[in-house]
Amino acid sequence: MNNWEEWKPIFAMVGINIVYGVMNSVIKVVIDEGTNRLVYLTYQQLVAALFVAPVAYITERGTRPKLTGEILAYLFFSALLGATLINYFFLMGLQYTSATFACAFLNMTPVSTFLAAIPFRFPSLSLS
């Protein structure tokens, strides 16, 4: 049974990549059929919010800080840059390339996030 515990993360990673591949292929077909990218993105964000909001509300009920203007600004820019803009560029690239190429570039998200955070000195980077 110990062997299964070692392989479980690998199977999970492979499964998630298969799901991403299938979803990218379906999205590619939908966009090629003429669906507007902004309409698809709006539906995607709406469905995600409907599924995630109740879970977040229940699990974070007692630990949330007060909703201030600063927190609202952070949420706005995080949603704009972190979810909407990145997904829109992904959909635009998917329209002009293949689903395989799009799957390969999804793995670039952590790298681009790290590179975007460096000018703001959020990560502490030690090259020695």
pLDDT tens profile 47-60 = 988 999 899 888 88
What is the total count of domains within the chain? 1
The answer to whether residue 94 is domain-embedded is yes
- Answer yes or no: are the C-beta atoms of 91 and 27 closer than 8 Å: yes
- For residue range 68-114, list pLDDT tens digits in order: 899 889 888 888 887 788 788 888 888 888 877 877 777 777 888 88
The answer to whether residue 7 is domain-embedded is yes
The answer to whether residue 128 is domain-embedded is no
C-alpha distances in angstroms, 108 versus 3, 73, 79? 31, 26, 19
Tell me the Cα Rg of the chain: 18
The answer to whether residue 46 is domain-embedded is yes
The answer to whether residue 126 is domain-embedded is no
The answer to whether residue 125 is domain-embedded is no
Which residues constitute the domain of residue 91? 2-120
